Structure 1
Amino acid sequence: MNPGPHDVLSRILSACKAERAVTASFRLHAPWALHSAGTEGALIRMCTGTGYWICTDGGTPVEIGPRDIVMLPRGTPHTVASTRDPGDGVVPFADLLKAHMIGRHGDHPIELTYGADDTGSADAPPTQLFSLHLWMPALDVGAIPAELPPLIVLRSGELPLAHTLANTMELLVQDSLSQRPGWQLSAARMGDLLLVHILGEYLRTPAAARQGTPNVLDDPGIARAVAAMHEAPQQDWSIARLAAVAYLSRTVFAERFCALLGVPPMQYLSAFRMNLAAERLRQPRVRIAEVAEATGYASEKAFSRAFQRWIGVSPTQYQRDASTP
């Protein structure tokens, strides 16, 4: 088993699937500053008109231009603002959304105007901010690569793909605003494609150009082991077997894996299996015994115990909740 680098990337990113998505379009007139307390899942942003600044809590402000793609892989708390230093004039996103949201968060797209007394009578062109929030499976280990930074930016002026993704993002949000039948499924699936393209572009970038920590693709041995787990999660994997796939000793394999992915190999495998199980349980008429076998568990009982310990509810309850509109 020796998949090429592109196969490895495909297998790693195959776990990146959203349970559901919510879209938003914000027309923002300067001065404005909004703070997000964080989201469950991944958050993608793109703007047209005037650019803005984004700063993750405790991080350094980053200037974002029109059609740059911004992604927070784990929805890290952050501030977006019309200026680099908004001072004390930061408004919680939650307060703004509460005033404009209809029903449960995610039931409907959000569209609003904010700033300049909400009249739009400002001298500078507004910032049209498009947002896509993707709810990922219960735990992101095994679904979102663990070594990702809290903030990823793809510059439209530097990457042709970024400009294409920006157009796709704008069309996705604009189409969702009409709420035609099927819009929620369409938003989630198109969101999956955006997510995969953004993560793929980032992970393919050489470590020196990323100015960040190495990722799994920088180590061929660890990449082979991760691809093997994704390709055959039902196998009776052990540290020894995975180390053999990576052509490394068990000690070196375990150390490198943990350094690159942030968790031990068996914890990563367990998380991937649980996310795969959650995805399958969301499909209609699937049998729990089949899911147990596909994810490497010798019995339905053993799988059910592991699933409840990891996700917090039994497979039966999770399946029932997933089928409820």
Structure 2
Amino acid sequence: MDTGRDGDALSHLLAGYKSERAVTARFSLSAPWALHSTGVDGPLIRLCTGAPYWISVGDAEPVQVAPHDIAMLPQGGAHTVSSAPGLEARPFRELIAAHSTGRHGDHPIVFSHGGGGPVTELFSLHLWLPAQGLGSIIASLPPLIVLRQAQIPTTASLALAMETLVNETVAQRPGWQLSAARMADLLLVHILCEHLYAQPATAPAERLGTLRGLDDESIARAMALMHERPAHPWSVATLAQASYLSRTIFSERFRALVGVTPMHYLGSYRMTLAAEKLKNRQLSLYQVAESVGYASEKAFSRAFQRWTGLTPSAYARRHGAA
């Protein structure tokens, strides 16, 4: 992939997404076993040591995951993990509820379960990310990504880093929550990079949404500019000019690759940034509006309410307290 001379487009796209916290877990599972999750809000990363396991997302066929392979569910979709396909699955929430302490995420979750056969040590990271717009790279990814150690050499070092992180959080030393969140961010970036570069250049249809946009030098340049200067009064014409394309070709190519229009993408990214600023409560409403390209609080408030269903003040009250 070539993003041209304007910099690392993937870094610009990911810079605005920082985990609020990361929930870590370690499960010791002896065959036969099967567990079902109804899904979580945010990316979920899993890896195992010991015996391999199977994972199926939604109605898709089960996929076997070998030790030290990394499986990620970018949108945290409903899925089943098991020692073998076809087993009756027990709800994850029952075991998590029985072994959790305090509010979800306050402490790592550790438990053992199963029938006494070969053991799979399953390590999990659940990332709590800020609000995602349609322009988000996370929303554009497939429901399941598997990095195979046998195919991608760096997978082994990523798996070791994740295993070490989860094991260290279990000790809950001072600073473990911040350390988990920041390490989870780094793992997410590396997984996305490996997934992007592992895709064959001859099969662009396998890449979806934002990732496909990154493969096109002109579209990647426009996306990077929007992320670098979200408050700038961008238009389709100015973005097309910066991308060295005609307005018509730029609009058609952007929508075909990314899945939304350039202005829709920009609006979603602006609202994502505004949501984070409102939660932090460090700026006035006017300052938040101005920082994402709105000259008036009224226009910003209307746009924000269309995007979230809440007024900016209501959103700040609800999510700022959380």
TM-score clears 0.5: yes
Percent identity of paired positions between Structure 1 and Structure 2: 55
Write the deviation string for residues 196-224 of structure 1: whole angstroms up to 9, x where unpaired: 11111212334447871361222111111
1: CA distance, partners of 2:287 / 2:16: 19
- Output the amino acid matched with 1:305: R
User: Alpha carbons of 1:211 and 1:296: their partners in 2 closer, same or farther (altered >3 Å)?
Assistant: closer
Correspondence for 1:229 among 226, 231, 246: 226
Shift of 1:184: 2.2
* TM-score normalised according to structure 2 size: 0.89
Who is 1:41 aligned against? 42
1:259 and 2:259 aligned: no
Who is 2:63 aligned against? 62
Who is 1:86 aligned against? 86
Write the deviation string for residues 202-252 of structure 1: whole angstroms up to 9, x where unpaired: 123344478713612221111111111111101111222222222233333
1: CA distance, partners of 2:243 / 2:138: 18
Give unpaired runs (5+ residues) of structure 1.
none
Shift of 1:318: 3.7
* TM-score normalised according to structure 1 size: 0.88
Who is 2:144 aligned against? 151
- Output the amino acid matched with 1:152: I
Q: List 4+ stretches of structure 1 deviating above 4 A.
A: 320-323
Matches within 5 A, 1:116-127: 116=115, 121-122=116-117, 124=118, 126-127=119-120
Who is 1:240 aligned against? 237
1:308–1:315 CA contact under 8 A, matched in 2: yes
Matches within 5 A, 1:13-28: 13-28=14-29
2: CA distance, partners of 1:33 / 1:48: 17
1: CA distance, partners of 2:204 / 2:218: 21
2:75–2:139 CA contact under 8 A, matched in 1: no
Who is 1:313 aligned against? 310
Who is 2:96 aligned against? 97
Q: How large is the RMSD of aligned CA atoms in angstroms?
A: 2.3
2: CA distance, partners of 1:231 / 1:311: 23
Who is 2:135 aligned against? 142
1:15–1:143 CA contact under 8 A, matched in 2: no
Give unpaired runs (5+ residues) of structure 2.
none
DSSP 3-state at the match of 2:154: helix
Write the deviation string for residues 38-87 of structure 1: whole angstroms up to 9, x where unpaired: 2111111111111111111122221111111111111122111111x224
Shift of 1:319: 3.6
1: CA distance, partners of 2:144 / 2:207: 13
2:4–2:217 CA contact under 8 A, matched in 1: no
User: Size of the alignment, in residue pairs?
Assistant: 316
2:34–2:90 CA contact under 8 A, matched in 1: yes
